[in-house]
Chain A
């Protein structure tokens, strides 16, 4: 990714690798445009003991444009997370701000998981998943 914001991504990655907060770790970042971040369900929440992987894709628009963030592997069962790993979280789409970071997205998602009171899929899950095959979550809203 040869944009002038590559430096920012490099900085964010460095901070995440040097001092990762508990429950968040960089699993894969060989290429600056695709990272895999592992998150652990927080203790005391419904997801305690579970591990999830988030895939971040950065295009040239980052950080003016939000990264594409989805769960890969087995996504958590949550009313705002679809079976295909797509996440319904406003800061990833309409409410994105360039002052947000990979870390703040991870914290938001962890917070979203932690505040969950019932492990269910979204009501329109099957409809959405069949409609969103092979598409970016940014194009399916």
Chain B
């Protein structure tokens, strides 16, 4: 087949498989979705698994579905004896949201992509190995092995993932580090210093070099150390972080000006 033809084809087919053009097709899909909505509204207590499907439908569908929901609520009130059956179905349905998008089975060793799609580690690993495009199978967003997030539920897996030699271990979780700002201030200035605002400032200024020459220009770092840990607002009424940032910026600007003046003095 010629390249031209293929290009045309791709343009036509890239739009989602669900995007149907004729009214009949749309009504088909709508009917299917309505069925699903019916199922979910039967179970009433747990409509969450259905949210994705409902989102896919057009706005008209959503409006129709709300009316159906109401109808079903009425039905439910009149038929309490079917409740037990519904409950078992509800359990089945609620498991669906934890199915792998590749093997369609309950996830084993769950990992989630940055785009939020759930897979078995072995499934997504094989797909990333198999396919060079490195895209999420569901939404085509870029996916890399390093950026997958493992999900750890309560209790451990019964089978050892390392048993399968062809599939490496799931990547570890990467907890975010505690913010360095808080760490530093706690370590550098213990409560003894922090007790007095003036002391802290004095301690800071004494560190900076060239204090004697250009007191106003050279690195005059004045950190306003907050002695009360519970209080996140300092004496100026500003958040501590922005105050830190501002003083750092100011000291840098002054330092630069100082260098420039020094340069002119030396040149002249």
Contact = CB atoms under 8 A, between A and B. Distances in A.
Given A98-B101, A105-B17, A124-B2, A112 B24 contact: no
A124 B101 contact: no
A130 to B, nearest CB: 13
Contacts of B104: 7-8, 11-12
A114 B107 CA distance: 36
B1 A141 contact: yes
Secondary structure at chain A's binding surface: helix, strand, loop or mixed? loop
A98 B137 contact: yes
A97 B18 CA distance: 14
Interface of B: 1-2, 5-6, 8-10, 12-14, 17-25, 28-29, 31-32, 35, 101-105, 123, 126-127, 130-131, 135, 137-138, 140
Given A8-B104, A88-B6, A110-B20, A128 B1 contact: yes
B138 A97 contact: yes
B115 to A, nearest CB: 12
B22 A44 contact: yes
Contacts of B35: 19
Nearest to A43: B24
27 contacts: A4-B103, A5-B103, A7-B104, A8-B103, A11-B105, A21-B29, A21-B31, A22-B31, A43-B22, A44-B24, A63-B102, A63-B103, A64-B102, A64-B127, A65-B130, A79-B8, A82-B1, A97-B140, A98-B101, A98-B123, A107-B20, A108-B17, A110-B20, A112-B13, A114-B20, A114-B24, A124-B1
A95 B14 contact: yes
Contact of A114 (B14, B22, B138): B22
Contacts of A94: 10
A99 B101 contact: yes
A30 interface: no
